[in-house]
Amino acid sequence: MMKLDVTWATDRAAMAELAAAYVCASLGDGLTTSLALPTGDTPIGMYECLAERRRRGEVSFRNAKLFNLDEYAGMSPENPRSYHAFMRRHFIDHIDVPSQQVRLLRGDAPDAAEECRAYDRAIAAAGGIDLAILGLGANGHIAFNEPGVPWDLDTHVVELDRRTRQAHRPNFPDEASVPRIGVTMGIRTLKAAKKVLLLCAGEGKREAMAALLAGREDHAWPVTSLLGHKGLSILAEEALKPC
């Protein structure tokens, strides 16, 4: 069993501040830094803190290169439910990153397989991912790497798990309109990142957190693929702390 170093935050606000401080420290040397960025409820507070720090002049993203982790297949960037729109609404439109340094997955690309290959080429051209910021799914997924997905893939198309679709149901008008297919950075890409910041929050993540803290690789819980990553940092709500 592998012992993990976890920073426990008292609440979501404290977690957001700690995550933002970690990102700022990663950008602080002024070198070009490639970030892989998550969507969902968990990172919104972090994005708000980073935008506020940018407004106060405490951090700049002019040397950052931004990638997002995943997207719904078939969804255009103009769709307000797309992850492309999410990233712009919650983060990109509030910071000083040059537009040519932002590369987001296109869910509506006419050839999804080619979009995956093009995305991998863009990541490689950026020198790989310096910091991958990840959320944790209730089923243990990281990005859209669902239970049972091979761990040796780069960017790929994936069928979304039932629990993932259930979690996303509140964002759509009815169950039938929740996407069934996603496009995602693969676990091989994420494990190749120089540093990984894993954000764990929400009562529904307790089982996935327990699987991670067990310290054993388990393909039923994709998050355990990160075990052994030398640059892994885990930031979690105290509510998820084992009794």
Active-site residue among 68, 71, 115, 139?
139
Say which residue the tokens 């996603």 belong to. Answer: 182
Active site residue 146: yes
Active site residue 207: no
**Quick one: how far is CA 60 from the chain centroid?**
20
Cβ pair 72, 106 in contact under 8 A: no
- β-strand 195-200 against 232-237: which pairing, if any? parallel
Enter the tokens of residue 117: 């290959």
Q: Which residues of 108-136 are buried (b: 16+ CB within 10 A; e: fewer)?
A: bbeebeebbebbbeebeebeebbbbbbbb
Residue 19 Cα distances to 26, 207, 231, 236, angstroms: 11, 22, 15, 10
Terminal Cα-to-Cα distance of the chain (whole angstroms): 19
Q: Which residues is 183 bridged to in the sheet?
A: 71, 157
Active-site residue among 70, 71, 115, 154?
70
In whole angstroms, give the CA distance from residue 42 to residue 56: 23
**Quick one: how far is CA 135 from the chain centroid?**
5
Active-site residue among 115, 130, 146, 237?
146
Active site residue 141: yes
Active site residue 139: yes
Strand segments (E) across the chain: 6-9, 33-37, 64-68, 70-72, 102-103, 131-135, 156-159, 181-184, 195-200, 232-237
Active-site residue among 84, 115, 130, 141?
141
Q: Which residues are catalytic?
A: 70, 139, 141, 146
